[in-house]
Amino acid sequence: MLFYKEKGESAIGIFSHEEVACTAKWGKIRSMKRRATIAEIASAAGVSIPTVSKVLNQRADVAVATRLRVQQVMEEMGYVPNQAARALGGGRSGLIDLIISKPLDSEYFLEIIRGIEEVLHREGKSMVLSIVQEEADLERLDQVVNRSADGALLLLPRLYHDSVKKLQEHALPFVVIDPSVPLDPLIPSVGTTNRSGGFAATRYLLSLGHRRIGIIADTEHYLMAYERFAGYRSALEMHGIPLDPALVYQGNFHPEDGLEQTNALLALDNPPTAIFAGSDWQAAGAYRAVYAHGLAIPDDISVIGFDDVPLSRWLNPPLTTIRQPLQEMGRMATTMLLKLLAGEPLETTRVELASLLVIRESCAPHMAV
Amino acid sequence: MLFYKEKGESAIGIFSHEEVACTAKWGKIRSMKRRATIAEIASAAGVSIPTVSKVLNQRADVAVATRLRVQQVMEEMGYVPNQAARALGGGRSGLIDLIISKPLDSEYFLEIIRGIEEVLHREGKSMVLSIVQEEADLERLDQVVNRSADGALLLLPRLYHDSVKKLQEHALPFVVIDPSVPLDPLIPSVGTTNRSGGFAATRYLLSLGHRRIGIIADTEHYLMAYERFAGYRSALEMHGIPLDPALVYQGNFHPEDGLEQTNALLALDNPPTAIFAGSDWQAAGAYRAVYAHGLAIPDDISVIGFDDVPLSRWLNPPLTTIRQPLQEMGRMATTMLLKLLAGEPLETTRVELASLLVIRESCAPHMAV
């Protein structure tokens, strides 16, 4: 979000300032049906989360005025320390909701699920898996959050502000995994460094001599795609190469989009010599288009992906890609949620794990014509 | 199991008669810690499941002697109709365990999960997802089945008899999805017609003129692989082609195995002109090996897979394969479990959904040399 506001590029991203404002606002307007999170108390009191935790734990190192303000907010929210201690004291049902959205069609989801389950298993807790539609399925979300779970993990590639608000209404502690919209900084989330991943992918292609690099990214719908695009543009800028809008195509993470948009890129009068795909699966679609044009990878055109799911190793040639630490993201988000439930302070609410360039065989030096 | 016993091919399958006997035996020796399933009562009383259901529902169309025997068994098991009605009356927690084993690395799992969740969602129930090790993780299984779930779905590619016995001890109603060992016919399970799928794949290759067809199948560990192999052998027999053991390779469902075993097949003095892979992912490994040998698919060698996961459409060339109705398997298993929980009779405990040949571009007519 901050990045977005700094750059103010509403022409390419659709995350309007109105939406950002709306996201920030619910910190003030949410209703506390069951229990508030530490983050909400902190937000309402205008203090940090560790400060609220200190007040809850009756620590001495909090200014008296601050302590009084936090306690007042807790009281206004119908919140007393005992109740808080119970709610924050480790969870009652031992169940954690994982709310995941369709299409659920890639190992991307499995890797994250494996990371989540690993931590829950270790902690003796269980995961209740619920699938919602790709669209904001508020009714389903309502059913899910009405359950007796202690907290929720959200893996919603098409997360909507409405969904976040809905969860806020239920006052269920939650952590967002790989958020696709800019979130209020108070909402705990775990993602990857999409921007630096996009930068690394593009810089690698530039280092191979490519100058016309096509990119397929759904910057209109996904924050992560937008950030990867921003990294792409930064890398071009650093190399003094002007952004050519003709090389920027909108496309979802699915192979069908990779196929269609690569076809469009290859049909250009001056086609790219390399393509930065939005995901490994989208890259699989790009491969199909390249082969259908009678071209070879990487001899005629280089392709780079994003994710490093198992597929990438088994495409022919093996796909060079940017690795997202998906299992680690699942583990980290779960650890954060359990901390929230235990009333422990989070070191930070917004975690971005490092992405990594994985070089395989789909990119080659560009031969000057 | 019946098929296995009919054929008695212990040289290839490892499912010894001892194991089969052991599976059948627990019907008599299990302990009833919490509650028995209808299947267990039926087994102990030597009657069908519908008959037990009729007795429970106090229907008139049961012979008096049969009714008395069933009631006696229920009494011996510390089981009274009221208790039965409660246990079978629709579940109390609304939670269904899905116990799934690693490696959890293919869309195969996701497709089945989607089918399960669809039915549970419709019925207002939730799925608790637990992951166990690929090895029989009895401690973990113990944790899982000690929970308050109403019943369990097992998706354990390496199901062991120990695991089944463990669940039997807990007397938790369960349905096995895609069983990998021969099960007591009283244990409800849903699979696909692996044997006819193997037959269809092989017959298709034969129809294209192939006579030397390699097969990679982990018949030593997986019932489904064994059945596909049995279908392969039947198709060859019907065409008067003797089985060549040199063309039969053991390999797990993973691409690494497909790569390794295809390399071995291609190194033969008289290599096959077509390969029947154990799964789509294994076929991806076969592609890699074929390309590494400088050969083309399907011009030089045909490859056929099994599963029809999304990967198959995005390999180059698109993979001809046998479709398993994975989502439907998930839906069917869930429906069966909910019936068990509601005390309704199952029409059959062993369901095999039809597999289907999906012709794409990885198989071509064999050109006689």
CB spacing of B130 vs A143 below 8 angstroms: no
CB-CB neighbors (< 8 A) of B117 in chain A: 129-131
Q: Who wins on pLDDT, A234 or B136?
A: A234
Confidence of residue A91 (pLDDT cuts 50, 70, 90): very low
Please give the torsion angle defined by the CA atoms of residues B176, B179, B183 and B185, in that order, rounded to the nearest 10 degrees: 60
CB spacing of A105 vs B104 below 8 angstroms: no
* B293 CB within 8 Å of a chain A CB: no
pLDDT (mean) for B302-319 = 96
Return the closest-CA partner of residue B30 out of B39, A128, A157, A13.
Answer: B39
d(CA B191, CA B75): 34
Mutate to test the interface with B, among A279, A311, A326, A331 (most CBs of B within 10 A): A311
Fold agreement (B2-186+329-348, B194-324)? yes
Mean pLDDT of chain B: 82
Least confident of A279-283, B99-103, B337-341, B345-349: B99-103
* A277 CB within 8 Å of a chain B CB: no
Compute CA distances B6 → B191, B221, B350, whole Å.
19, 19, 17
> Å from A80 to nearest chain B CA?
30
pLDDT tens profile A7-36: 333 323 333 333 333 333 333 323 223 456
Residues 297-336 of B with CB under 8 A from A: 310-311, 313-314, 316
CB-CB neighbors (< 8 A) of A107 in chain B: 105-107
* Helices (runs of H) and strands (runs of E) counted in chain B: 15, 12
Mutate to test the interface with B, among A99, A100, A126 (most CBs of B within 10 A): A126
The pTM is what? Answer: 0.76
CB-CB neighbors (< 8 A) of B313 in chain A: 255
Task: Classify residue A367 as exposed, middle or buried by CB count within 10 Å of its CB (0-12, 13-18, 19+).
Answer: exposed
- Specify whether domain A194-324 bears CATH 3.40.50.2300: yes
CB spacing of B105 vs A107 below 8 angstroms: yes
Confidence of residue B369 (pLDDT cuts 50, 70, 90): low
CB spacing of A113 vs B104 below 8 angstroms: yes
CATH architecture of B2-186+329-348: 3-Layer(aba) Sandwich (3.40)
CB spacing of B131 vs A143 below 8 angstroms: no
Task: Classify residue A89 as exposed, middle or buried by CB count within 10 Å of its CB (0-12, 13-18, 19+).
Answer: exposed
Sequence-ordered strand ranges (E) for chain A: 95-101, 126-132, 151-155, 174-177, 189-192, 213-216, 248-249, 274-276, 302-307, 320-323, 350-353, 356-358
CB spacing of A143 vs B128 below 8 angstroms: no
CB A79 within 8 A of CB A41: yes
Residue B144: pLDDT over 70: no
Least confident of A348-362, B20-34, B219-233: B20-34
Q: Who wins on pLDDT, A88 or A364?
A: A364
Q: What pLDDT, on a 0 to 100 scale, did the predictor assign at position B293? A: 97
CB spacing of A131 vs B114 below 8 angstroms: yes
pLDDT tens profile B185-244: 889 999 999 999 999 999 999 999 999 999 999 998 899 999 999 999 999 999 999 999
Q: What pLDDT, on a 0 to 100 scale, did the predictor assign at position A137? A: 63
d(CA B69, CA A260): 67
Q: What pLDDT, on a 0 to 100 scale, did the predictor assign at position B185? A: 83
Residue B20: pLDDT over 50: no
In what side-by-side order are the strands of the sheet with B302-307?
B248-249, B213-216, B274-276, B302-307, B320-323, B356-358
Assembly ipTM: 0.75
DSSP state of B149: -
d(CA A363, CA A290): 13
d(CA B159, CA B19): 13
Helices (H), B57-193: 64-76, 81-88, 107-122, 138-145, 161-170
The residue type found at B32 is M
Residue B153: pLDDT over 90: yes
Q: Which of A113, A126, A255 sits opposite B314 (nearest CB)?
A: A255
What 3-state class would DSSP assign to A274? strand
Q: CATH code for A16-88?
A: 1.10.260.40
- Residue-range domain boundaries for chain A: 16-88, 194-324
